[in-house]
Amino acid sequence: ATLERLLFGRAGRPPQDLSEPNFALIARELKRKGVTLTLLWQEYRAANPDGYGYTWFCEHFAAFERRTSA
């Protein structure tokens, strides 16, 4: 639960107030053995049932990676 709050903010947020996931933390988590983007998205959706879909999540994470890999 604590990791989910760090990754995705507080639970119970109304859909119109969805914020972008913490992609910097997600990038760090992906370096851990056994952690996948699918797993992190599933955790995000568990914490935010009305949250962003998998395609949005992946596209925005890829954009984050491009911006920060320079």
Q: Residue 44's domain spans which residues?
A: 2-11+20-68
Surface-to-core class of residue 30, CB atoms within 10 Å of its CB (0-12 exposed, 13-18 middle, 19+ buried) = middle
Whole-model pTM: value is 0.71
50 and 15 Cβ atoms separated by less than 8 Å: yes
pLDDT at 38 over 80: yes
pLDDT at 41 over 80: yes
**pLDDT classification of 51: cutoffs 50, 70, 90:** confident
- Count CB neighbours of 41 within 10 A: 21
How many separate domains does the chain show?
A: 1
6 and 25 Cβ atoms separated by less than 8 Å: yes
> Bigger pLDDT: 13 or 59?
59
Mean of pLDDT over the chain: 85
